[in-house]
Amino acid sequence: MTKTVLNGRLAFAAVMLVGLILPAVFERHMVDLLVYAGLYTIAGLGVGLLLGQCGIVNLAQALFYGIGAYASAYSTVTLGWSPWSGILLGIAISVAVALVIGFPLLRLHGFFLALATLAAGTIGTIFFFEWDWLTGGTLGIGGLPPLSVLGFEFNSPARFYYLVWAVVIILLVLSSNLVSGRPGLAMRALRDSAPAAEVMAVNIHAIRTKIFALSAGLGALAGSLFAHYSTYVSVESFTVQRSIVFLLIPVIAGARSIWGTVAGALFVTFVPELLSGFGDAHQMLFGIMLVLVVTLMPDGLAGIPARVARRFAR
Amino acid sequence: MSLGKRIFFGAPALAMALIGASAAAEPVRIGALLSTTGGLAGLGIPQRDGVLLAQKLINANGGVGGEPLEILMEDDGSNPDAAMTKVNTLVHSQGVKAIVGPTGIAQTVAIGSVTQPLNIPVLAFTGIGPAVENARNCVFHMTPAQGLNARALLSYAKEIGAKRVGVLHDSGYGQVIWGVMSKLGDEFGVEFVQVEKFELSASDATAQAAKVKASEPDAVIVLSSLATPFRNLRQVGLTAPIISVHGTATYEIVKAMGDAADNIVHAEFLIAEDPLPYQVEFVAEFQKEYGRLPKHFEAAGYDAVMATVAALKRASSNAAPDALCQEVRTPYQGAFAQYDFTAKDLGGLTLSSFSYSLLTKGKFSRLPFKASQ
Amino acid sequence: MNTVMTHAPVKSQPLMALRGVAHQFGGLVVLRDVSFTVSRGRIAGLIGPNGSGKTTLFNIASGFLRPANGQIFIDGRDITAASVQERSRQGLIRTFQTPKVFQHMSVRENIEMGLYATTGAGFLASMLATPGARGERARIRRDAQEVGERFGLGSHLNTRAGDLPAGQQRIVELARAYMTKPRVLLLDEPSSGLSSDEVELLRNWVRTLSNEGITVLLVSHDMGLMSVCDTVHALYFGKIIASGSMAAIQADPMVREAYLGG
Amino acid sequence: MNSTLIIQSLMAGLTNSFVYALIGIGIAVIYRGTRIINAMQGDFAVIGGMLTVFGLVSAGLPYVWACALGIAAGAASGLLIDVVCVRPMIRRQADDEAFLLLTIGLAFTISAAVLYIGGREAHLLPGIGGNGTVEIAGAFMSVHAIFLIAISLLVVCGLWLFYRKTIAGLSMIAASVDPDGATSIGINVARMRGYTFVLGGAIGALAGILVTPLISVSYQMGLGLTLKGFAAAILGGLTNPLGAVLGGLVIGLSESLAVVGLSSGYKDVVALTIMLLMMVLMPNGLLGKAGRRGG
């Protein structure tokens, strides 16, 4: 027991160390992809909490990602606020929107809830498009300032890499705490059996609404960070396709695994890039991989170690 | 390790054989950032064809001052985020001297924030866009600015005596042009009697078309890159003339219009069935290479590479980016039109650059009308 | 607040009372004017053939169904309109006919859920792992360990509950219910799918819980198990046709008629 | 705004209504037979439309045979999906979400495959009854649209008879409503599910063939069709083909009126908001039938 704990800690420390030196050894493009993997981990973590802990399929995450990005873009470029207040504004608006749409919609379950979120996300994209006084429409908003702390600017992929992954690790720790804590227990309980959870005095609707708002806040944070990294936002980044990608992160990772989200995010950023060498076939190959994961690997990538262990145990 | 997709024709070997170079020639690298997948692929793919033709011809004729031309081809998937990622790779990791592309306006605005501070020349297949671009003097524009497109269309409406004009535009490209055109009605003595928008993803705009038709316009201007509005306008029985922006003047989109394509007038640039003298050579080379006729997007792709190479030849081979940018900034006779990169809009196209074509059974024929300032 | 019960002497005051409960689905009347009471620490049973309205009555008592008419009281308080969670906080806990353990959670976590209502760490405190939240969590774990061991689940505490055999899952469900420190425990067909040894074990547990002061309402077909009840009510077509000890009920001619005829 | 315009919009809306209804019918058929929401129903339409174009243009088949090819392709894809993907997942008792993710993944894959194999161009088919239009009170409607509406109604009637009067239809419903009971009276539940997918695929492909002359067929149109079709099916109570037609009418007509009365950019907002309101406020659909929450 203690030996595995020790091994786990050693492995964790090794991964951290490798993570620290990656920007120094990788070329810029790879670091750039790693930054995106970090941003996607944050947004995917929200979707994963909903899917893995509550069994809710959320196809509206790009809406919240967009709200975060546009809040940052508008408040810094048009209003001239500081980037940090833009991030807070984005999170606040996202959480508010999530509460307003989540309160009625979260009474739905299963397929119906999933398609309701898809509809909400689609409506969101239309508003991003139509409100061009706010979002810049097709042309988008450019010229966002880089984030800075005490005069240190996060203005290169390597610098931003450290920022985003520090945020990722903090959020993963917080999420793990949440899931292993009392609310996490209740979430998993209601996922396994809603009636029995109700008997244990779990307020199902309240807890689902809270976690939806939390997920939206994570989406907005990822969106704001993305906007400051890219320095440019346009409606193309917040479509339903992006929501599907966010959903795939926990699906590929194994929805119940918090730390697995990182693997899912790395998968959706790097695999299409690797496959792009196949030309026009790459989207099809990516799609087939997804279908295989869903069909054959119910626990995603996180389920692989257990499978291997089972095979050896036989 | 680069994960990017590279298209590198086997031309260097051929080029070396031709010029008899003794030293291993270090290729001259430029980047091509195009939308060859996603929503803009209908434009990005023909641009790529033009780019590749130009590269082949250049390398067959001795390359760039004896060095082969290598073009690093990147696809942004019609997505501005991806364009940012790819342009960073091209500029920082691959060290390209210039960039040909992007295909879309949003992508052009986006990557300008990376290339302009480094003075790396960008030859974009877009017209000059939002105000931020005015200060980007190394981002050149191979297609007309939206105001110019709008004027070219309205010139024709005026020519045929249309006073009441209906407009049907899509929510992307079309909306941008409409933003400018809406202010130009008085100048051309035109009243916009009905203006309707439809989503870029729409597969049907019949209701909007009906609304335009119901306003009984003398002519309808369509601002879109899709075939849908043309079909719908004909389906609701519109008989008034349709005038369209150059975005739909491609054989592929015209084919998707079906029967509706007849009698549409395009304000465009390259009528390959009847090319202008400065276009003859390009049309012949293109037809030889691909066995089909080019349109203006192919020509723009070709011109962008040719203009870049011309500038590279004038600058010394290890010139700093700002010197190269300076060399691009000059008049250039392209197959698309006569450019003047010293112009305020960084492209120098004018109303007289436009040709007007009439569609008949999928073929474009030249109309005698020429617009003037 | 409620004055209906005040005339009763405190000592034998019923902890749970149903008054004139009636229900119908569409036009089909499934319960008509059902009333009975259960005193503190006593075990009451409900029997009846299939379709007699047992399950409906059980769902009404546990809050999963609102009765068309009638009232339900816990300790003199009208809880007819209370939700399942409110009833849970009042100390009314039910189990399910097919055991509903939290399958993907460990046995220990299942039992820990029993303390959900009486603990308080929220989202923020749990995320930040405040000393309060951690202390509370440690106490929950300790208590769950204790209860788990008491119910003979000590060696299974880290097993996934869904991996246990059905009999063990019942015990987990019972331990989880016990963990809430219930005042009233509603057990729905707790012996279905159990071996005779396991039923015997269950019977002892029900007796023990009752001795600790927990009031129990039991629905079962299993006459062996039902013998643990202090009072048994026989339902037939939505009406109580007999009440009394198990032996008395079994001897009742109407009940015999109902069972043989039904 | 004049009356001709309103009539024209209503007729455009009517045509769209039946397009949405046809997709919705397919979703309803599959939900009724398997309790799975098929998020790739629109892609069956793409398959059907594309294969018919291939048969007519590339293989030079007569129109009727090309349509038969398209419908067969839709049916075959339905069967393939059931055998290759759904069956193993049923065996391991996958959750609702997993089936939804599966069909989303399939929608993505099929769209990408059509792009890879068939290219990005939009293709047209000649309309049934030619490409003519008829004038009604100053407004125009294509002859093909009238055929589309008629064929949709025939499909609904056919399904009504099929589910009520034939052994196969009754067995398919029994297999989904009560799989254990159905097995006990000798119904092969897995085979019935296969038939359901074949039927759903064929209806989807027929929808694709019928819409292609109006709006053309291209690789990326699947998801949009699915969403509108789902809205139609939801309004109709999800298991009822006739309800899907009613739902399609509500969505299609309100959309076209939104274009006349409101800005056309908000057309989809109107349609989807109606769907969301219905889901929350009238979860059993306009017809109030049961069986909405199941899964």
The CATH number of whichever domain residue C188 belongs to comes to 3.40.50.300
Pairing of strands C92-94, C184-188: parallel
pTM of the model: 0.86
Residue with the bigger pLDDT between B14 and C172: it is: C172
Number of domains, chain C = 2
- Please check whether residue A242 touches C, CB under 8 A: no
Candidates B231, B236, B238, B250: best to mutate against D (most CBs of D within 10 A) is B236
- B258: distance to nearest CA of chain D, Å? 7
Q: How far is A52 from chain C (nearest CA, A)?
A: 11
Task: Using a threshold of 3 CB pairs under 8 A, tell whether chains B and D touch.
Answer: yes
For D25-54, what is each residue's pLDDT tens digit? 999 999 988 889 999 999 999 999 999 999
Q: Is the per-residue pLDDT at A68 higher than 60?
A: yes
Amino acid identity for residue A313 in this structure: A
In SS3 terms, chain A reads as: CHHHHHHHHHHHHHHHHHHHHHHHHCCHHHHHHHHHHHHHHHHHHHHHHHHHHHCCCCCCHHHHHHHHHHHHHHHHHHCCCCHHHHHHHHHHHHHHHHHHHHHHHCCCCHHHHHHHHHHHHHHHHHHHHHCHHHHCCCCCEECCCCCEECCEECCCHHHHHHHHHHHHHHHHHHHHHHHHCHHHHHHHHHHHCHHHHHHCCCCHHHHHHHHHHHHHHHHHHHHHHHHHHHCEECHHHHCHHHHHHHHHHHHHHCCCCCCHHHHHHHHHHHHHHHHHHHHHHHHHHHHHHHHHHHHHCCCCHHHHHHHHHHHHHC
User: What percentage of chain D carries pLDDT values higher than 70?
Assistant: 96
Contact C137 A256 (CB under 8 A): no
CATH class for the domain made up of D3-292: mainly alpha
pLDDT for res A54: 87
- Burial of D93: CB neighbours in 10 Å, binned 0-12, 13-18, 19+: exposed
Q: Which chains touch B (3 or more CB pairs under 8 A)?
A: A, D
Q: Is residue C120 part of a domain?
A: yes
Percentage with pLDDT > 70 across chain B:
92
Tell me, letter by letter, the H, E, C secondary structure of D234-261. Answer: HHCCCCCHHHHHHHHHHHHHHHHHHHHH
What is chain A's Cα-based Rg?
20
Chain B residues with CB-CB distance to D118 below 8 A: none
Name the one residue in this structure whose structure tokens are 């390359």: B63
Instruction: Measure CA of the first residue to CA of the last residue in chain C; give whole Å.
Output: 42
Question: Chain D residue with minimal CA distance to B211?
Answer: D5
Evaluate whether residue C2 is within a structural domain: no
Would an 8 Å CB–CB cutoff place D272 in contact with chain B?
Answer: no
B203 and D268: CB-CB below 8 Å?
no
Distance, CA of C147 to CA of C163 (rounded, Å)? 20
Q: Compute φ and ψ for D50, nearest 5 degrees.
A: -65, -45
User: Which residues, 6 or more positions from D144, have their beta carbon under 8 angstroms from its beta carbon?
Assistant: D127, D128, D129, D130, D131, D213, D214
Is the model more confident about A160 or about A274?
A160
| Residues C187 and C255 occupy one common structural domain | yes
Say yes or no to pLDDT of C250 above 60: yes
Three-class SS state of B185:
coil
Torsion-angle region of C105 (φ positive above 0: left; ψ -120 to 50: alpha; else: beta): beta
Q: What is the pLDDT of residues A18-62, one digit of tens each?
A: 888 888 888 888 888 899 999 999 999 999 999 988 889 999 999
Same domain for C114 and C153, yes or no, is yes
Task: Answer yes or no: is C252 within a domain.
Answer: yes
What does DSSP assign to residue B259?
Answer: G
Q: Which of C110, C111, C23, C137 is nearest to C69 (CA)?
A: C23
Confidence of residue D135 (pLDDT cuts 50, 70, 90): confident
| pLDDT over 50 (residue B15) | no
Residue C141 inside a domain? The answer is yes
Residues of A in contact with D295 (CB under 8 A): 109-111
Q: Is A241 on the interface with C (CB under 8 A)?
A: no
By DSSP bridging, strand C43-47 and strand C231-236 are parallel
**CB-based contact A110 D101, cutoff 8 Å:** no
Residues C218, C148, single domain; the answer is no
Contact D12/B237, CB-based, under 8 Å?
no
Residue D30's CB is within 10 A of a number of other CB atoms, namely 29
- Which residues are C217's β-sheet partners? C44, C186
Cis peptide upstream of residue D213 (ω within 30 degrees of 0): no
The chain A residue lying nearest C90, using CA atoms, is A201
How many CB pairs below 8 A link A and D? 114
- Residue D100 is nearest to which of A104, A111, A298, comparing CB atoms? A111
Classify each residue of B181-203 as buried b or exposed e, where b means 16 or more C-beta atoms within 10 Å of its C-beta.
Answer: beeeeeebebebbbbbbbbbbbb
Q: Which of D89, D227, D295 sits opposite A295 (nearest CB)?
A: D89
CB contact under 8 A, A185 and C122: no
Question: Alpha-carbon torsion A104, A110, A113, A117, what sign?
Answer: positive
Residue C256 domain-assigned (yes or no) = yes
C94, A199 Cβ separation under 8 angstroms = yes
| Phi, psi of C239, deg, nearest 5 | -125, 150
User: In this complex, do A236 and B2 lie within 8 Å of one another by their Cβ atoms?
Assistant: no
**Distant-in-sequence, close-in-space partners of C12: CB < 8 Å, separation ≥ 6:** C39
The residue assigned the tokens 């505490």 is: C157
Residues sharing a CB contact under 8 Å with residue A243, sequence separation 6 or more, in sequence order: A58, A59, A60, A61, A62, A63, A118, A121
pLDDT in tens, B169-183: 987 778 888 988 999
Q: What is the mean pLDDT of chain A?
A: 89
Q: Which residue ranges form the domains of chain B, and what is each CATH number?
A: 23-143+278-349 (3.40.50.2300), 146-268+354-366 (3.40.50.2300)
C-alpha distance from C40 to closest chain A C-alpha (Å)? 21
Residues of A in contact with D85 (CB under 8 A): 291, 294-295
A27 and B3: CB-CB below 8 Å? Answer: no
Structure tokens at C157: 């505490």
Q: Are residues C199 and C139 in the same domain?
A: no
**Cα separation, B291 vs D47, whole angstroms:** 30
Examine chains B and C and say if they touch (3+ CB pairs below 8 A). no
Instruction: Suggest the residue from C83, C89, C102, C137 to mutate for an interface test with chain A (most A CBs closer than 10 A).
Output: C102
> Cα–Cα–Cα angle for B190, B191, B192, nearest 5°?
115
Mean pLDDT of C189-198: 86
Site from A133, A138, A230, A283 to mutate, B interface, most B CB atoms within 10 angstroms: A138
Within a domain: residue C1?
no
Does the beta-carbon distance from C89 to A203 stay under 8 Å? no
Inspect the interface and report whether the beta carbons of B3 and A273 lie closer than 8 Å. yes
CA–CA min distance A110, chain D (Å): 6
Angle between helices B41-60 and B296-314 (to 10 degrees): 40
CA distance A248 to chain D (A): 9
Indicate whether C207 belongs to any domain: yes
Count Cβ neighbours within 10 Å for each residue of C85-99 and write b for 16 or more, e otherwise.
Answer: bebbebbbbbbbeeb
Instruction: Return d(Cα A219, Cα A46) in angstroms, integer.
Output: 7
For chain C, list the contacting chains (3+ Cβ pairs, <8 Å): A
**ipTM for the predicted complex:** 0.83
Max CA-CA distance within chain C? 65
- Render B310-359 in DSSP notation, one character per residue: HHHHHS-TT--HHHHHHHHSSEEE-SS-EEETTSTTSS---GGG-EEEEE
Token pair 């078309």 is at which residue?
B209
Which chain B residues are within 8 Å of A137, Cβ to Cβ? 171, 175-176
> What is the end-to-end Cα distance of chain D in Å, rounded?
46
> For residue range C63-74, what is the model confidence (pLDDT) as tens digits?
988 999 999 999
pLDDT for A287: 87
Check whether B10 has a pLDDT greater than 60.
Answer: no
Tell me: the pLDDT tens digits for D155-187?
999 999 999 889 888 898 888 888 888 888 888
How many other CB atoms sit within 10 Å of the CB of residue C141? 16
Range of the domain at C150: 101-181
Option in A27, A36, A232 nearest B110 (CB): A232
What distance lies between CA D125 and its chain's CA centroid? Answer: 19
Query: Looking at residues A14-20, what average pLDDT do you find?
Result: 86
In a domain, C62, yes or no: yes
Residue C82 and residue C197 in one domain: yes
Amino acid identity, residue B229?
Answer: P
pLDDT over 80 (residue B31): yes
Residue D288's pLDDT is 63
A2 has a pLDDT exceeding 70: no
CA distance A214 to B195: 42
Distances (CA, A) of A181 to A173, A203, C124, C128, D41: 12, 16, 10, 10, 41
Q: Do C101 and A196 touch (CB under 8 A)?
A: yes
**Which of B207, B252, B259 is opposite residue D131, by nearest beta carbon?**
B259
Rg, C-alpha atoms of chain D: 19
| 8 Å CB contact of B208 and D264 | yes
Check A276 against B3: CB less than 8 A apart.
yes
- Among D16, D124, D269, the strongest candidate for a mutation testing the B interface, having the largest count of B CBs within 10 A, is D124
Cβ–Cβ gap D5/B210 under 8 Å? yes
Q: Are residues C235 and C170 in the same domain?
A: no
- Nearest-angstrom CA–CA distance, D293 and C165: 30
Residue with tokens 């293109």: B286
Q: Tell me what the mean pLDDT of segment B194-204 comes to.
A: 76
For residues A41 and A218, is the Cβ–Cβ distance under 8 A? Answer: no
> Are residues C108 and C70 part of one domain?
no
The answer to whether B139 and B162 have CB atoms below 8 angstroms apart is no
Q: Which of C230, C208, C217, C164 is nearest to C186 (CA)?
A: C217
- Chain D residues with CB under 8 Å of A51 CB are 97
Indicate the domain borders of chain D: 3-292
Task: Answer for the pair B273, B363: CB distance below 8 angstroms, yes or no.
Answer: yes
Mutation to test the C interface, candidates A4, A172, A199, A209, most C Cβ within 10 Å: A199
With contact defined as beta carbons under 8 Å apart, do B265 and B356 qualify? Answer: yes
Q: Which residue of chain C has the CA closest to A256?
A: C104
A157:B3 CB<8 A: no
Contact B210 D8 (CB under 8 A): yes
